[in-house]
Amino acid sequence: MSGINKLDIKQLRVLQLLLQERNLSRVASLMGLTQQAISEQLKKLRHTFDDQLFIRASNGVFPTSLAESLGEQVNKILNSIHQLFPDTHFDPAKLNGIFHISASDYALVTVLPDLLNEVTRQAPNLKIIVRAFESDNLNQLMVTGEVDLALSFPEFIPDTSPCMFLFNEQHVCVVSKNSPLANTTITVKQLAALPQLIISPSRANLKGPHDQWFARLGLKRNVVMSIPSFAAAPDILSKAPLACFLPSRLLPNDKIATVDLEELPPSFEVIAAWHNSSTNSPILKWMLKLLKDGSYQIPNCSGRINEHLSLRYFQKWNYSALST
């Protein structure tokens, strides 16, 4: 009973938010307290549980195994207490601290401008850090709080991560505007034989997202170059006799021209993803709502959620929570 007597609701709330946010200053902002006050509450929690609970990292803190094990029970306790009171209003204007986003240069162009415009308008004191997308260690970056939200394609997101569908995108075949293939129509077999450039934003290899599509057609594509940047592709294509697939939202570009194919490759989804421990984070919920509300502004957005994404999404995330 001595441990129970040492705990109060505020300490449990601090523990819950630290598990979600991994950042003392952000927790202080959400609770309307100073960072020193949060540190004092954490000191009491450490004494009560005889454990460090949270260890400092370069961009905040990350939980010990004991802290992680407490998360589910703390959520249940506070959810029960929360039902005794009316819902509190979340005010982004009162936010401060830092929110970390991982995104490719494609997402920088297509998703982030509208999102960041809304963020700066609604939460002028919240700082945003956007880092290059790194799929191989994305999960670890999410665990340590170095990435709060990732904007990417499903194949680069860990299967354990909750995600939200944003929109569908279609790849278009492009070449230099001076190429004899510019503005012509060719077969997929003809394309497979051409030297090709691929964009691999997170992995340095010659494997592209359409390799399986070519293989299903009994073809092997001739990939001769891989770069990490969508933005650099038009400059390279303008000076090299290569073909390339670029997302349609990056076109038109005056350095390149399209090549029509008799059969188009499958479309692909653009998604937002986060770590499971952050699902109930008020800041994350708000950020996802901004993305959801802004998706209609993106041209050609079909609104389709495929079966795989739908399953991952609804297992991990209560969609109705976006409206709270």
* Structural domain for 27, as ranges: 2-82
> What is the predicted pLDDT for the residue at 88?
64
The mean per-residue pLDDT over the stretch 56-78 comes to 89
Q: Quickly count: other Cβ atoms within 10 Å of residue 245's Cβ.
A: 21
Q: pLDDT by residue (tens digit) across 128-182?
A: 999 998 888 898 898 888 899 999 988 889 888 999 999 999 999 999 999 999 9
Give exposure, 262-280, as e/b (b: 16+ Cβ within 10 Å): eeebebbbbbbbbbebbbb
User: Do 177 and 262 reside in the same domain of the chain?
Assistant: yes
CA–CA distance, 23 with 145 (Å, rounded to integer): 7
CA–CA distance, 225 with 164 (Å, rounded to integer): 32
Q: Quickly count: other Cβ atoms within 10 Å of residue 28's Cβ.
A: 22
> What is the predicted pLDDT for the residue at 289?
93
Q: SS3 string of 61-117?
A: EEECHHHHHHHHHHHHHHHHHHCCCCCCCCCHHHCCCEEEEEECHHHHHHCHHHHHH
User: Do 175 and 255 reside in the same domain of the chain?
Assistant: yes
DSSP code of 300?
A: T
Q: Return the sign of the alpha-carbon dihedral for residues 154, 302, 105, 131.
A: negative
DSSP code of 279?
A: T
> What is the predicted pLDDT for the residue at 278?
86
Q: Is residue 22 part of a domain?
A: yes
Q: Is residue 122 part of a domain?
A: yes
The mean per-residue pLDDT over the stretch 303-312 comes to 33
> What is the predicted pLDDT for the residue at 307?
33
> What is the predicted pLDDT for the residue at 302?
34
Find which of 204-213, 237-246, 270-279 is predicted with most confidence, using mean pLDDT: 237-246
CA–CA distance, 296 with 301 (Å, rounded to integer): 7
Tell me how many domains the chain contains. 3
User: Do 159 and 302 reside in the same domain of the chain?
Assistant: yes
Top-confidence residue, 24 or 300: 24
Beta-bridge partner residues of 223: 196
CB–CB of 53/42 below 8 Å?
Answer: yes
Q: In CATH, what number is assigned to the domain containing residue 135?
A: 3.40.190.10
pLDDT band at 259 (very low <50, low <70, confident <90, very high): very high
Tokens (6 digits) for 142 = 């999410």
CA–CA distance, 237 with 244 (Å, rounded to integer): 8
Q: In CATH, what number is assigned to the domain containing residue 45?
A: 1.10.10.10
Top-confidence residue, 87 or 252: 252
pLDDT band at 46 (very low <50, low <70, confident <90, very high): very high
> What is the predicted pLDDT for the residue at 1?
44
Helix, strand, coil abundance in the chain, percent, nearest 5: 45, 20, 35
User: Do 192 and 128 reside in the same domain of the chain?
Assistant: no
Residues 6+ apart with CB under 8 A from 256: 174, 175, 176, 177, 233, 234, 237, 238, 246
User: Do 132 and 216 reside in the same domain of the chain?
Assistant: no
Q: Is residue 242 part of a domain?
A: yes
300: pLDDT strictly greater than 50: no
The mean per-residue pLDDT over the stretch 46-75 comes to 90
pLDDT band at 75 (very low <50, low <70, confident <90, very high): confident
User: Do 218 and 182 reside in the same domain of the chain?
Assistant: yes
Average pLDDT of the chain is 85
Least confident of 95-99, 108-112, 296-300, 301-305: 301-305
User: Do 280 and 157 reside in the same domain of the chain?
Assistant: yes
User: Do 187 and 255 reside in the same domain of the chain?
Assistant: yes
> What is the predicted pLDDT for the residue at 173?
97
The secondary element (H helix, E strand) that includes residue 323 is: none
277: pLDDT strictly greater than 70: yes
> What is the predicted pLDDT for the residue at 59?
79
User: Do 242 and 99 reside in the same domain of the chain?
Assistant: no
Residues 6+ apart with CB under 8 A from 19: 63, 67, 68, 70, 71, 74, 277
Q: Is residue 87 part of a domain?
A: no
